[in-house]
Structure 1
Amino acid sequence: MRTWTLPLYWRVCLINGTVFLAGTLALLLLPVSVSRRTVVSEALVLTLGLAVMLVTNALLLRASLAPIDRVVRQMATVDLLEPGQRLPTGTRGPGARLVASFNAMLDRLEAERSGSDARALAAEEEERHRIARELHDEVGQQLTVVLLGLKQVQRRAPAELVEELELVRESARAGLDDVRRVARELRPGVLDDLGLHSALAALATGFSAHGGATVRRSIAPGLPALPPATELVVYRVAQEALTNAARHARATRVELTLQRLGDRVVLGVADDGRGLVADAAGAGLRGMRERARSVGGLLEIDSAPGQGTRVRLSVPVDPS
């Protein structure tokens, strides 16, 4: 059953009216009066009465209006990428109802954002899959045909052209390798075929082989199986962290760890680079946070100038 309560506007009017009524009754009932020429004692009584009225009015209004200031301050600092920021409800009254409504609004916004982020990330992964498939099936196949054709031409070409044709073949072969590497980065087939452990190992090896920092990996044995969506988030966060370490932090050594702590699996990526810089703290880090939230994970980033960057992602073993 819903209880009826006065709106905040009428509560303020009622509080002020009560204070003024109390002051009027005090003037009527108490043996005090004011002369035509106000003396010091009368001025003291009036001043004391006014102070009592102001203090009483302030104390009565504080319980109703103070929560509004807390809501205003929270609205100025709340970040939907950092879930769980709620105000204490406190006592009853319109202020408490306002705080409760504000917390309920944050619940709805976080739920809606989480759902929209999950749909956007699913669409992004689908688009990555499509582009990777087209690169592999279309561009990769065409480059393979070019390589085979150049090999046939090279066999029948004059001796003075063999060396030039070999250089062209090497360029085509390098292009084919780049296409395959990009396709693997867009859609890691090893993640679907062999699982997260092998995918992270291949990621670290490929990262070191293509001019990145030296990666030392430590993956604990016996880790529980994670849902495919969670494994993909762990892989993408590791991929983005390694990219930031080489591209932005200019790191030379990176340590990649994966272990279980309680009911969560924790991914750690720590580098010895120059720390997080402004050009790296944009869409990449926001994307990592959104991915983590889409599977109920928590992303923590610790960085200081000249002291490297540490990325820590913890995801629940049980998605429920």
Structure 2
Amino acid sequence: FPAKLLLIDDILGSLIYERQELLLEYLKKCKNKDMSIIIISDDLKHLFTISDRILVLYQGKQLATRTTSETTPREIVELIVGTNLKAQVTPVIWAFENYHAAQKQTEELKQTQKVLRQSLREQDSLNRQLFERLRNQVDALDQLNLALQDANRRLVTEREAERKSLARELHDQVIQDLLSYTYQLEEIETRGFSDTNENEMQEIRDGLRNVVSTLRQTCSDLRPPTLDSHGLSAAIPSLVHQWSKISGLKFSLDIDPELGRLPETIELSVFRIIQEGLSNVRKHAQATSVNLTLRRRSNASLLVTLTDDGKGMIAPVNLAVLQEEKHFGLVDISERVSLLGGALQVTSKPRGGTEIKIEIPSPYPTL
């Protein structure tokens, strides 16, 4: 009898790219013959090419089942990572895509090397050149793998740091405040309510309002609600006002009145880029004033310029050195800009200070 079920347990990754394509074509033919196929793989491209449904597992337990035509690679990555924060999900998607693209490129180069070895006597000079190219590509792939591993470690570390910070803030401030007000209310209840308790009750009311305000600020830090409702034109002034209040620095903000709305992913990424840039200024620049401008250019791209009058940076700025020294602020900004297909320019001003200029291309090709 013909087989009714075929199980493929993560073997695609061990095949060269050409054989992967041949196997996928064969599986498509089996699928058209009403054969059931179960594929275990982390290659989203393969899964979305052939599957009808995707099952996400964690430690052997089912997390979710999705119909392939009704989901996206981003949603699947969100389920794998365990969060829907785009600042954390986007680097993982970038890692998946670049790793498999690099794997394909390496396989193609290995095939080229094999052919050249067969004609070594006739094309010895060309073979040596291509072999050197292959070695450079393999070195680049090794560096990419190391960078991906480092990005993954930073992603996990930052996520745990955020959770730890949130837990500490809730425990040390909000929960302790609520417990204190609970004890005060119990004490008043024990003594019995009277007109003399009115001042104490008012203090408790004010304290509870402060707790609510703290929780609102915490929620805003996790996901600024103004950004979803009104876009960058409203969210950035709110961010700048809060930052200036905390840092005590003078601030000049200039937002193009024609800025308009952008897709959610771009708006959130730009917001996080500006947030990280301001954090760098407060921590390292030793500045007294800061200037931020957001402009739409004639080609509809978004131009963001952040300038401070601080001590400046050593030119040219070397992101690899900054990463080795565990200064990830500009590195994170560079990664976010790269994921948006944009350009980043960091310069030190002659009289001191730093200028960060970022250009994000328009997502609308007709503009």
* 2:308 is the alignment partner of 1:271: yes
* 2:39 is the alignment partner of 1:5: no
Equivalent residues, number: 237
* 2:310 is the alignment partner of 1:310: no
Shift of 1:314: 1.9
Shift of 1:238: 0.6
Q: Corresponding residue for 2:274?
A: 238
- Tell me how far apart the structure 1 counterparts of residues 272 and 198 of structure 2 sit (CA, whole Å): 44
- Tell me how far apart the structure 1 counterparts of residues 343 and 230 of structure 2 sit (CA, whole Å): 25
CA contact (8 A) 2:259 2:295 kept: yes
Aligned pairs for 1:256-267 (under 5 A) are: 256-261=292-297, 262=299, 264-267=301-304
- Tell me how far apart the structure 2 counterparts of residues 249 and 214 of structure 1 sit (CA, whole Å): 14
Aligned pairs for 1:1-320 (under 5 A) are: 2=115, 4-6=118-120, 92-99=126-133, 102-103=136-137, 106=140, 156=193, 159=196, 170-223=206-259, 225-261=261-297, 262=299, 264-276=301-313, 282-303=327-348, 307-318=352-363
Q: Using CA pairs under 8 Å that are at least 6 residues apart, name the structure with larger relative contact order, 1 or 2.
A: 1
- Tell me how far apart the structure 2 counterparts of residues 260 and 115 of structure 1 sit (CA, whole Å): 36
- Tell me how far apart the structure 2 counterparts of residues 163 and 276 of structure 1 sit (CA, whole Å): 54
Q: Corresponding residue for 1:18?
A: none
- Tell me how far apart the structure 1 counterparts of residues 300 and 134 of structure 2 sit (CA, whole Å): 31
CA contact (8 A) 2:287 2:309 kept: yes
CA contact (8 A) 1:132 1:186 kept: no
- Tell me how far apart the structure 2 counterparts of residues 107 and 319 of structure 1 sit (CA, whole Å): 33
Quick one: which amino acid aligns to residue 253 of structure 1?
S
Check 1:168–1:246 CA distance in 2 against 1; reply closer, same or farther (3 A cut): farther
Shift of 1:252: 2.6
- Tell me how far apart the structure 2 counterparts of residues 166 and 251 of structure 1 sit (CA, whole Å): 41
- Tell me how far apart the structure 2 counterparts of residues 225 and 115 of structure 1 sit (CA, whole Å): 35
Quick one: which amino acid aligns to residue 359 of structure 2?
S
- Tell me how far apart the structure 2 counterparts of residues 181 and 172 of structure 1 sit (CA, whole Å): 14
- Tell me how far apart the structure 2 counterparts of residues 276 and 175 of structure 1 sit (CA, whole Å): 40
**TM-score, normalising length: structure 2:** 0.48
Match of 1:286, SS?
helix
Larger Rg: 1
Check 1:140–1:102 CA distance in 2 against 1; reply closer, same or farther (3 A cut): same
Q: Corresponding residue for 2:31?
A: none
Quick one: which amino acid aligns to residue 284 of structure 2?
H
CA contact (8 A) 1:147 1:169 kept: no
Quick one: which amino acid aligns to residue 5 of structure 1?
S
**TM-score, normalising length: structure 1:** 0.54
- Tell me how far apart the structure 2 counterparts of residues 228 and 192 of structure 1 sit (CA, whole Å): 8
Shift of 1:126: 12
Q: RMSD over aligned Cα, in angstroms?
A: 5.0
Shift of 1:257: 0.9
- Tell me how far apart the structure 1 counterparts of residues 277 and 241 of structure 2 sit (CA, whole Å): 15
Match of 2:305, SS?
strand
- Deviation readout 1:15-44 (Å, 9 max, x if unpaired): xxxxxxxxxxxxxxxxxxxxxxxxxxxxxx
Shift of 1:107: 7.4
- Tell me how far apart the structure 1 counterparts of residues 144 and 296 of structure 2 sit (CA, whole Å): 27
Check 1:233–1:110 CA distance in 2 against 1; reply closer, same or farther (3 A cut): farther
Shift of 1:274: 2.7
Shift of 1:222: 2.6
Percentage identity across aligned positions? Answer: 26
CA contact (8 A) 2:285 2:353 kept: yes
CA contact (8 A) 1:272 1:309 kept: yes
- Tell me how far apart the structure 2 counterparts of residues 268 and 94 of structure 1 sit (CA, whole Å): 47
Match of 1:248, SS?
helix
